[in-house]
Amino acid sequence: MASNPESFSAVPGKVEGMAEFVGRPCSVAVGREYTVVATKPYIGPSEDQVEAARVEEAARVAAIAKQYEAEERKEELRDALIERLQRSRCIEYLNSHHPLCNQCPIAGVCPGFQRDEIDPQLCQQCLHIKHSHNGQHRESNKAMGLDELRVLLERLHVTDDDLDLYIPDDEFLIE
């Protein structure tokens, strides 16, 4: 029985397959063509306990995701309500300070009454008299969103000091 000197090494190393044992190794016996590993009993959760923990973790992650979605929906509703209130304030301001002209045939020619510097009874935009400006911006006109109303207010030289669009938290309640 001659042994091959190239296949033996006295330096300890990792044995393939040692990481796949269920329990902790307590003893190793090595022979010429075999390796026997004796393990201590497995100390840890059973397969059922591991599966239950996975299910529990998945339920916890789903609950957290559901809570985040609910908070995002609540924030979206809050933002939509703020935008609707700001749009309503813009329309109220335009109707009271810059009513639309009834005589201008093309929409957009006169964005609303603006006093002329020479004759305050005339509109600076269309030169019609003030009494012909009694048209109202409608809340039901969805084509005029908040962004379009802000552009219109800017065209009419309305500053943030003239129109307060801040909506305090106590003005609306979302539960």
Give me 102's structure tokens.
């009834």
Q: End-to-end alpha-carbon separation of the chain, Å?
A: 86
> Exposed/middle/buried for 26, CB within 10 Å: 0-12, 13-18, 19+?
exposed
Q: What is the pLDDT of residues 107-149, one digit of tens each?
A: 677 888 888 889 989 988 888 898 888 888 888 888 888 888 8
**Residue spans of the chain under pLDDT 50:** 1, 175
The model's pTM: 0.62
Domain boundaries, the chain: 55-171
